[in-house]
């Protein structure tokens, strides 16, 4: 079974790292109906994290802060619950795996929040996959990529994103979930 962050480690009982899992999965996984097909089921938001974000909190605290990716996941889970959303939070170091997860969101998730990390600045393939899903997409960067090295100023992913949040630390993820709730409401989704 493909698994995201924590490969080889037991996954948290409450949160599965696989985005948009198949509907025959374990009981505690969020149900997969999207777009209000079942108004009692919270819309599922895939929160996808790219390479090296598993290292958060271990190095470069002056750039990325001291929070770990587990802290980010807990923040997202708490925020999503308050907003009536379900999340599927994952991290991968692989470009192909990230693209596969994006593709799997089609017809299963109501929206995508993505911190593509280094692939933001390099991956036309990831951009293409995001353009193909036809879902609201919020791109998040913990740091303000525009105040950093020039090579970080261009994000191909931004060309596919509905909106971008950068430079607000891990609170950017919570803000992205709030923005997603608004985007879904505008679309008439629960």
Which residues are near ligand CA2 by CB under 6 A?
A: 52-53, 55-56, 58-60, 64, 115, 117-118, 120, 141-143, 145, 152
Least Å distance between CB 167 and ligand CA2?
8
Known catalytic membership, residue 141: yes
CB 48 within 8 A of CB 123: no
Beta strand 137-141 with 86-91: parallel, antiparallel or unpaired?
Answer: unpaired
Structure tokens at 113: 């929040």
Least Å distance between CB 53 and ligand CA2?
5
Pick the catalytic residue from 24, 119, 121, 141: 141
Determine the Cα–Cα distance for residues 42 and 85; give it in Å rounded to an integer.
5
Determine the Cα–Cα distance for residues 27 and 158; give it in Å rounded to an integer.
35
Tokens 């950017």, located at residue: 172
Least Å distance between CB 111 and ligand CA2?
19
Pick the catalytic residue from 64, 119, 156, 173: 64
In the complex with ligand CA2, the residue whose CB is nearer, 148 or 178, is: 148
Which residue numbers are catalytic? 64, 141
């Amino acid at each position: 079974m493909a698994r995201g962050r924590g490969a080889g480690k037991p996954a948290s009982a409450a949160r599965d790292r696989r985005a948009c899992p198949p509907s025959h999965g374990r009981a505690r996984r969020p149900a997969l109906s999207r777009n209000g097909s079942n108004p009692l089921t919270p819309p599922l938001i895939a929160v996808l994290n790219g390479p090296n974000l598993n290292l958060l909190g271990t190095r470069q605290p002056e750039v990325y802060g001291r929070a770990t990716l587990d802290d980010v996941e807990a923040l997202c889970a708490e925020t999503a619950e308050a907003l009536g959303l379900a999340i599927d939070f994952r991290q991968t170091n692989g470009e192909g795996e990230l693209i596969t997860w994006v593709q799997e969101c089609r017809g299963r998730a109501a929206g995508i929040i993505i911190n593509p990390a280094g692939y933001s600045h390099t991956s036309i393939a990831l951009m293409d996959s995001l353009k193909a899903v036809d879902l609201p997409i919020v791109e998040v960067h913990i740091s303000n990529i525009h105040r950093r090295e020039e090579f970080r100023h261009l994000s191909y992913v931004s060309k596919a994103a509905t909106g971008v949040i950068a430079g607000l630390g891990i609170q950017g993820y919570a803000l992205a979930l709030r923005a997603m709730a608004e985007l879904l409401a505008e679309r008439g989704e629960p």
